[in-house]
Amino acid sequence: MADKNAGAFPGEFPSLPKQERALQKRKALLESGRRLFIEKGYEMTTAKEIAAAADVATGTFYRYFSDKRQLLMALLQDKIDLLMIPEPDWLNGDPVLLLARLLDEHYKRLESVGIHRVLPELLHKDSELAAILQEARRNIHMQIVQGLEQARQKGMTWKDIDLDTAAWSALILAENGPHKVEQSSSPLNTLEAARIICRMIFPPEAISRNGKIEAEKME
């Protein structure tokens, strides 16, 4: 999985409150900020509106965050692990079914969190935010490459492909899966996407062999 602690989040965060009531207020501010950013957009949302939606005074907002950008950074610090594609464990089970399941779960998490919808309007304006997300992508890319190297040692991958390029290609396809419906006549079928990715990386016999192993484990 992506390392949510990789890379520093800019801004000096006040120390976390210790009292339960204060923690609940901070949590309410984070949740109302997340909801309003998604509903109205980041630029159109104010700290005053976030405070009102959390049922606290505007001054209370500034007790926990210096501005709405810092609140967004706190949200990302908490949620960035959910924004990144999970690292597949290629050695256990059918790679196609494994990846399809991971993609399904990942896209459902994205929709439940929703904060990814806010990022496109900010990335071209906020270089620090863009750098944080880029570092997270580098980390998960590196982890996927390492997983593929382990699979290669087991004789699972095509011998003549560059694993770094294969991992990059898989990430590009997986990250853009939710946008397929905007560019074609139908939404992404995660099983079909998983088949395409896995056929690029694994010979048919490797997929078949691991599928049989998984079936035997289930018996």
The pTM score is 0.78
pLDDT tens, residue by residue, 96-109: 999 999 999 999 99
Looking at every residue in the chain, the average pLDDT score rounds to 86
Percentage of the chain beyond pLDDT 70 is 87
**Cα(40)–Cα(68) distance, rounded to whole angstroms?**
13
**Domains parsed from the chain with CATH numbers:** 20-78 (1.10.10.60), 84-218 (1.10.357)
**Cα(36)–Cα(27) distance, rounded to whole angstroms?**
14
pLDDT tens, residue by residue, 112-168: 888 888 888 888 888 988 888 899 999 999 999 999 999 999 999 999 999 999 999
pLDDT tens, residue by residue, 189-199: 999 999 999 99
Whole-number pLDDT of residue 15: 57
**Cα(97)–Cα(191) distance, rounded to whole angstroms?**
7
Q: For residues 152 and 163, is the Cβ–Cβ distance under 8 A?
A: yes
